[in-house]
Amino acid sequence: MNLKELIISSGILEDYALGSASETDAKGVECLARCYPEIQEEIFLIQNSLQRYAEQYKVNPPEGLKEKIWLSIQNDTAPTAQSAKPHFKGASGNLTAIMVKHKKWIAAASVLFVFTGLLLYSLYLHSQLKETNNRFALLETESKLYQKELQAQKEAYTLVRSQFDFLLDPFTEKVVLRGTSIQPEALATVYWNKNSQEVYVAINNLPQPPEDKQFQLWALVDGRPFDAGLIEEVSALNVQKMKSFKDADAFAITLEKKGGSQVPTLEAMYVIGTI
């Protein structure tokens, strides 16, 4: 139940329509009526209902009452103060009891109104706190993602920088591997640094291998082939670091089964280059 429904169902609008609401409550109702058209409409409905009720149950004086009163005045037989006193005393007592009861109800309603306001405000603060916590958790998650992305970029930059420094090293030797009779237009490049013994390979022009096959680099030392590593990606934009070698006479690439081979398949040699 929202605030407008609470005000309408509290009964304070009936007191306002009857004129029995306190000055503070009346001002509060008028203020709410200006803010909420539903409350103003409810006041109109209550006033109309009270007017219809009064008209429906109004009591007309008995016929001849006016003549009897006039005759009583003439004969000096009007009701005495003593005879009237008990009646008005009783009415005054009932009115006092009603007012005391009404004041107690107003006090209870005021407390209920204040308590409800505090409850609604507490719920509002709770929802705001929950929303703030959700936003904080989202920002924290985004921050972690940004940190991972930044770390990945740093690692990629470090790798590219190391490759760049390697290629610019004056002791790095470039070995061109040219195509064999299997595919004469095939081409690859090996970069070998004798001081650091590091080896990198760049695939310039090789076909994509079948799913069950993989290209493998070999280093020829004194005529004997040694495994230099599997080529993970056949791309002209990729420079891959391979196994290190202190000495080598030539490099060659063969197409082997997935996972590589211990000895090269000479009839599947695509490129070779001597130093």
What does the pLDDT look like over 62-106, one tens digit per residue?
A: 666 666 666 766 665 444 444 444 444 444 555 555 555 555 566
Name the β-bridge partners of 175. 190
Residues 144, 149, 150, 156, CA torsion sign: positive
Statement: residue 14 has pLDDT above 50? yes
Beta bridge partners of 187: 178, 205
One-letter identity of residue 250: A
Q: How confident is the model at residue 38 (pLDDT cuts 50, 70, 90)?
A: confident
For the beta carbon of residue 217, count every other beta carbon within 10 angstroms. Answer: 25
Instruction: Please tell me whether the overall predicted TM-score, pTM, comes out greater than 0.75 for this model.
Output: no
Q: Tell me whether strands 250-257 and 213-221 are parallel, antiparallel or unpaired.
A: antiparallel
pLDDT in tens, 186-207: 999 999 999 999 999 999 999 9
